[in-house]
Structure 1
């Protein structure tokens, strides 16, 4: 039986860094978004419950597929085994958001003046 792939996806959302695990990650049909399906969380059968993972599990409860804007994605890794999903504060250092394009609605930016 072939091994199932597990992907670790790191992305920024509202000033926090999310780390989630999923079985399927693709560009998808929605332009500019990463499509993440089959989210994987730790087993609830253990006696020790991680409140951080419970928080992210509650946030994604009932979500079959999520779309993450490409500019928010920090990293996607294929990993050998699943880790613990978590939300952490975006600190300085090596986590930075890509610069956004200087486009304002109305189209004045494209006239070349």
Structure 2
């Protein structure tokens, strides 16, 4: 039997974050939702998703997120993990960190 998996969509600093977690509870703190046991892809190959890497850097050592209820847009119980994302809150387009370009010679 597989464990329950949730897709949590929430607002954070003007962006919409989509994360996957194994546990979502009405938190012990009044007015907050507790999101714990975050799930990230493990890439063994050369192809690395920069958004997934950025989310892992930001939340990788987090035991539980305590998100204000007003920031939660949606909690979905899903069958399998999809791609985590960071989107612009207004346009809905994915926020992509551009590949660093070399400095122009002077």
Superposition TM-score tier, normalisation by shorter sequence: 0.7 to 0.9
Question: 1:3 matched to which residue of 2?
Answer: 2
Q: Equivalent residue of 2:55, what SS?
A: helix
Deviating runs (4+, > 6 A) in structure 1?
A: none
Q: Residues 53-106 of structure 1, C-alpha deviation per residue, up to 9 Å, x if partnerless?
A: 11111010210111010000000000000112121111258xxxxxxxxxxxxx
Is 1:33 matched up with 2:36?
no
- Corresponding residue for residue 45 of structure 1: 44
Q: Secondary structure, in 3 states, of the residue corresponding to 1:47?
A: coil
Provide the aligned length of Structure 1 versus Structure 2. Answer: 92
Instruction: Say which one has the larger Rg.
Output: 1
CA displacement 1:15-49 (0-9 Å, x = unmatched): 00000000000102110000001000011213310
> If the length of structure 1 is used for normalisation, what is the TM-score?
0.77
Does the residue aligned with 2:54 lie in a helix, a strand or coil? helix
TM (norm. structure 2) is 0.82
| SS across alignment from 1:29 | coil
